[in-house]
Homo-oligomer: A and B are copies of this chain.
Amino acid sequence: MNIGDVSRRSGLPAKTIRYYEEIGLIRPARSPNGYRSFRESDLHRLAFLGRARALGFTIEECRALLALYQDDGRESAQVKQIAEDHLARIDDKIAQLQSMRATLAHLVSCCAGDDRPDCPILDDLSAGVGAPHDG
């Protein structure tokens, strides 16, 4: 298979596949003409990577997961640890975004959104540093 074929079958852009080779996540063979020549096992690895990335794992986590996947002597606890760490990160991010969302939604609901300049959003943003009021 050429890169275009694996790109279509894995759903990953060719650029990304080349990048994954560059950082050592896959090692496709080469044809005499210099083209990358992918086996089914390469495609399988790429599909794995695509799923893991879609779940938000970092590249380094993907690398670790792939290594565990290949390792018959792994302990599922190692995999679970990676997944749980990632889950915790996701929860942090969700919490952060929800906090932003709450503040922002409130400000938006307070703003008339008309042709006048008065704007509670800007008022809030500019209210950070205490203006030195007599004292």
**Interface size classification for chain A:** 35 or more
Q: Does A22 contact B (CB under 8 A)?
A: no
Q: Please name all residues of chain B whose beta carbon is closer than 8 Å to the beta carbon of A54 when the two chains form the complex.
A: 100
Q: Does A9 contact B (CB under 8 A)?
A: yes
Q: Please name all residues of chain B whose beta carbon is closer than 8 Å to the beta carbon of A73 when the two chains form the complex.
A: 117
Nearest CB on B from A89, distance (A): 10
Q: Does A69 contact B (CB under 8 A)?
A: yes
Q: Does A56 contact B (CB under 8 A)?
A: yes
How often does this chain occur in the complex, in copies?
2
Q: Please name all residues of chain B whose beta carbon is closer than 8 Å to the beta carbon of A74 when the two chains form the complex.
A: 117, 119
B128 with A65: CB separation less than 8 A: no
Interface string of A106-121 (1 = CB under 8 A from B): 0110011111111101
Q: Does A30 contact B (CB under 8 A)?
A: no
Q: Please name all residues of chain B whose beta carbon is closer than 8 Å to the beta carbon of A129 when the two chains form the complex.
A: 9-10, 43-44, 46-47
A interface residues with partner B (beta carbon < 8 Å): 9-10, 40, 43-44, 46-48, 50-52, 54-56, 65, 68-69, 71-77, 79-81, 83-84, 86-87, 90-91, 93-94, 97-98, 100-101, 103-105, 107-108, 111-119, 121-122, 124-129, 131-132
